[in-house]
Amino acid sequence: MAGVMAGLYRDFGAALQWRLARLPYLLTVVAVTAMFALPATHGKCPAVNQHCSCRKDLRISSTFNNIFCEDMGKISQVPPFYPSETTYFLLTIRGDTTLLTLQVDAFKGINIRGLELSSLGITTIIPGAFAGIGNMTRLRALYLDNNQLVALLNDTFSGLGALTGLYLRNNRLTTLSPAMFSKLKRLQHLYLGGNRLVTIPDDTFTALSNLWLLNLDGIHMATLNTTLFRNLSNLERLHLENNQIERIPDQSFDGLTQLKELHLSNNRLSSVSPVVINHLPLLERLYLSGNPLVCDCDLAWLRWITTITFNDKPVCSNPSRVRGSLVTSFDISMCSPLNDTTTASETTDNPSDVATTVIEEAYVTTVGEVSTTEAHSVTTRSGALNNSSKGSQELLMIVIGSLSAALLLAFGLLVYRNRMACAKCRETEGQVDPYTHNLPESRDTTCTVYDTIAAPVPTYENISRDEA
């Protein structure tokens, strides 16, 4: 009996030893399994409200989790969140939710890269509402579209210095303050379309030197300030469509040296001056459809533009003979270099200069119909070219005249020399050389040739009777 018990203990000890030897492997398998089984948030979801949850959405981000608060009904303020060190890609409140006010420290303790608060009926944003975000330097995009915002205070976006996208479309904003955007120096996209910003102060966008896209679509704008966009040196896309703009001053886009796309469709423009486009050296796409364009000689410059694409294919509204024609191909046969009230002598000394300038330079309109400044500029440039040509011709004539005079002088000197030599020959002909006492040698060949050439042509009176 004792031997049996000893054997059992020995077998149990061996089995236990075998299992203990393999325990590290078992623990490793359990750890790996647990790691993949844990949620991707690497911690507890900071959402407190039962309508909020943390999950991935591949349409938004394949790497980071997001916080979704949905169908919360009518709430007076943003629901609370637990503090969390985890960075979430997006916090969005959506669905059947009405939120009127963003309170102070509304998002305290959470780290997010994007905040979407669109279509919630928000009417008020209390200053400091975004100050509670765990790390404000990580917030890149803020969506506040389709709300009921009437005004924004200067420090509404205080602390959001890393923000690159701000979306405020379709609210009820009527005024903007330059101080509102003064701290958003990294902002690249600003959407303000769909508000009622009839006028915008000149220095509203002064601090936004990194802005790449500005959307002012449908804001009821009627006039453009000449200095509104002056500091936007990196702007590439400007949306001004669906407004009430009737005229674009020549200096309106001065400084937009990087602009590539300009939207002016559905305004009240009857014409666009080529001077305006001259300030946009990199412009590639221009949208003009939906404007009452008058296709006369003032707009003929659009026919010769080859560096700009008109993707929306704008058409002429007037006059009736070209109505419906594309602005890039309407009939310009009725255009003449001068109108009935302006004569060539009133604009330039040479009438042909005006016609040549109008035909050859695509961006110059008819002199008789452009403004006084444009006509003076065109005439001056054409006159300068003509004067330069005349100066070159006069210089060439002077050079030719000088060469001719030099040749004549050289020929005259040669003739004079030969004549003097021949005269000396005639004086000594037939005389004895005092040193050799011989008669001189025959006359020089040059003299003979010269005498032959210079001898007078015999006339009838000079022939003697004997010779006859």
Please give the residue that has the higher pLDDT: either 396 or 244.
244
Percent with pLDDT over 70 in the chain: 66
The H-or-E segment that residue 116 falls in is strand 111-116
Q: How many domains does the chain divide into? A: 2
Query: Which is nearest to 354 in space by CA: 335, 327, 334, 328?
Result: 335
C-alpha 213/C-alpha 225 separation (Å) is: 18
Any domain includes 293:
yes
300, 335, 370 - which closes a domain? 335
Residue 392 has pLDDT above 90, yes or no: no
Q: In the prediction, which pLDDT does 26 show? A: 47
pLDDT confidence of residue 143: 98
pLDDT band at 69 (very low <50, low <70, confident <90, very high): very high
Of the listed ranges 174-188, 246-260, 441-455, the least confidently predicted one is 441-455
Q: Which among 291, 307, 335 is the end of a domain? A: 335
Query: Who's near 388: CB < 8 A, 6+ residues apart?
Result: none
Q: Quick one: pLDDT band at residue 435, thresholds 50, 70, 90?
A: very low
d(CA 253, CA 248): 9
Is it the case that residue 91 has pLDDT exceeding 90?
Answer: yes
83 with 196, same domain?
Answer: yes
pLDDT at position 158: 86
List the Cα angle 206/212/214 in 5-degree steps.
70
451 assigned to some structural domain: no
Residues 196 and 244 occupy one common structural domain: no
Residue 406 forms part of a structural domain: no
Residue 292 lies in a domain: yes
Residues 96, 51: Cα–Cα separation, whole Å: 11
SS3 of residue 305 by DSSP: coil
- Does position 313 have pLDDT exceeding 60, yes or no? yes
- What CATH number should be reported for the domain holding residue 165? 3.80.10.10
Least confident segment among 139-148, 199-208, 279-288, 294-303: 294-303
Say if 467 falls within a structural domain: no
Closest by alpha carbon to 197, among 179, 182, 215?
Answer: 215
Same domain, 99 and 180: yes
Q: Of 305, 300, 308, which Cα lies nearest the Cα of 325? A: 300
For residues 28 and 179, give the distance between their C-alpha atoms in angstroms, rounded to a whole number: 58
- If asked whether residues 203 and 316 sit together in one domain, one would say no
What average pLDDT score do residues 80-90 get? Answer: 89
Query: 307 or 458: which carries more pLDDT confidence?
Result: 307
Query: Quick one: average pLDDT of 243-265?
Result: 94
Confidence of residue 135 (pLDDT cuts 50, 70, 90): low
**Same-domain check for residues 192 and 234:** no
Q: Determine, yes or no, domain membership for 61.
A: yes
Residue 61 pLDDT exceeds 50: yes
444 pLDDT more than 60 = no
| Model pLDDT, residue 334 | 65
Per-residue pLDDT at 364 exceeds 80: no
What pLDDT is recorded for position 423?
58
Residue 288 belongs to a domain: yes
Would the pTM count as exceeding 0.85?
no
pLDDT tens, residue by residue, 337-358 = 433 333 333 333 333 333 333 3
156 and 269 housed in the same domain: no
- Domain end, chosen from 186, 203, 219, is at 219
The burial class, CB within 10 Å (0-12 / 13-18 / 19+), for 149 is middle
pLDDT of residue 391: 59
Q: Which residue has the higher pLDDT, 300 or 283?
A: 283
Asked if pLDDT for residue 270 goes beyond 60, the answer is yes
Q: Among 20-34, 66-80, 148-162, which stretch is predicted with the lowest mean pLDDT? A: 20-34
Residue 446 inside a domain? The answer is no
Q: Is pLDDT above 90 for 75?
A: yes
Give pLDDT, residue 232. Answer: 95
Tokens of 35: 């790691």
Residues 123 and 101 in one domain: yes
Task: Report the pLDDT value the prediction gives residue 416, as an integer from 0 to 100.
Answer: 72
Both 302 and 232 in a single domain?
yes
> pLDDT tens for residues 95-110?
999 999 999 999 988 8
Q: Residue 39 pLDDT more than 50?
A: no
Q: Which domain holds residue 90?
A: 37-219
- Whether residues 103 and 123 share a domain: the answer is yes
- Give the highest mean pLDDT range of 25-34, 37-46, 97-106, 343-352: 97-106
pLDDT at 97: 95
Give 133's DSSP letter. Answer: B
Identify whether residues 202 and 97 lie together within a single domain. Answer: yes
Lowest mean pLDDT among 79-83, 170-174, 184-188, 437-441: 437-441
Contact 275, 374 (CB under 8 A): yes
**Domain identity same for 163 and 235:** no
149, 274: one domain: no
